[in-house]
Structure 1
């Protein structure tokens, strides 16, 4: 069982590092002056979910769920 715990701990560390990198890669949520003039309603503003930024947000959500699940599993004293 100690081998399984070690493997899960290594996966946990990799997820932690990936989360840090992904969060740093994302743009800030402040809209700036573009939101005042309606620039957010452009083609790029409407299709942000299909862009690289949208992909980063989705991957970050999945990794965050994996982080929470692995943290809970590693905190159990069954290993």
Structure 2
């Protein structure tokens, strides 16, 4: 049982790392503050975009990761 939970934990951590690395940056740096201020105010809706899907994958995988870590620590220690 411990090995199965550790393998699931490994996959959850890999999914979390990949989904975080594939997301676009939320800040534009200095160039965004000069030129792209209007896009933040009147930008496109991101409810059904690739970034929103990656954000949901990140959220779900982080919740699974935390639950598995807590389960492994409480049950097997």
Tell me which interval the TM-score lies in, with the shorter structure as reference length.
Answer: 0.7 to 0.9
Taking structure 2 as the reference length, the TM-score comes to: 0.81
Aligned to 2:68: 70
Structure 1 CA distance for aligned equivalents of residues 58 and 12 of structure 2: 10
RMSD: 1.6
**Structure 1 residues 27-59: Cα deviation after superposition (integer angstroms, max 9, x where no partner):** 111042312xx11213x2xx2121010110011
Show structure 1 runs of 5+ residues with no match.
Answer: none
Show structure 2 runs of 5+ residues with no match.
Answer: none
Structure 1 stretches of 4+ moved >6 Å: none
